[in-house]
Amino acid sequence: MASKVIHAIYNDDDLLLQGVKQVREARYHIGEIYTPMPVHGLDKAMGLAPTRLAITSFLYGVVGFVVSVAMMNFIMIEDWPQDIGGKPSFSFLENLPAFVPIMFELTVFFAAHLMVITFYMRSKLWPFKQAENPDVRTTDDMFLMEVDVANHDVDELTKFLYDTGAAEIKLIDNK
């Protein structure tokens, strides 16, 4: 199904933020916004749902903690409880302080790395991935807002976007 979108290009992040607010008030649908750098408050203006990445990180940390405890309990206490320099390997609790540095590091390791990998997967980033850049200038100094035309009148939408301060407006046919 062929659909049409309009690319409105702004050259200032303040204009962009204002534009986003106006477009949302007028009940047009914003598809995507491309910016060269993070624009503070853009996600709020667009009404994006908050990220749940921190929650996944906490859960990964719990996994790392459990892995480290299970690993050291098996190796040091259950499998071969040797007397190494008089350390009490009778139970996990008795030798706990010696295990804490490893427990801490593994918790951080799991929390950090699995969260980063989650981020890559959720935002579909990997080496040799085809860049999805509609306009090369958006990595340098331009801000691009993609608005779905849907069943709106193209001329009216163009006029509206022009009034929000867009420097350049293009009609794109999505194949």
Can you give the binding site for another protein, defined by CB under 8 A? 54, 58, 86, 97-98, 100
Q: CA dihedral in degrees (144, 150, 154, 158; nearest 10)?
A: -30
d(CA 157, CA 165): 13
State the minimum distance, in angstroms, from the CB of residue 97 to another protein: 4
User: Of 38 and 97, which has the nearer Cβ to another protein?
Assistant: 97
User: Of 84 and 117, which has the nearer Cβ to another protein?
Assistant: 84
State the minimum distance, in angstroms, from the CB of residue 146 to another protein: 29
User: Of 30 and 98, which has the nearer Cβ to another protein?
Assistant: 98
Run of H or E including 144 = strand 143-148
Residues 6+ apart with CB under 8 A from 141: 11, 36
User: Of 39 and 169, which has the nearer Cβ to another protein?
Assistant: 39
Q: Residue 173 pairs with which residues in a beta bridge?
A: 4
State the minimum distance, in angstroms, from the CB of residue 51 to another protein: 11
State the minimum distance, in angstroms, from the CB of residue 49 to another protein: 14
d(CA 102, CA 107): 8
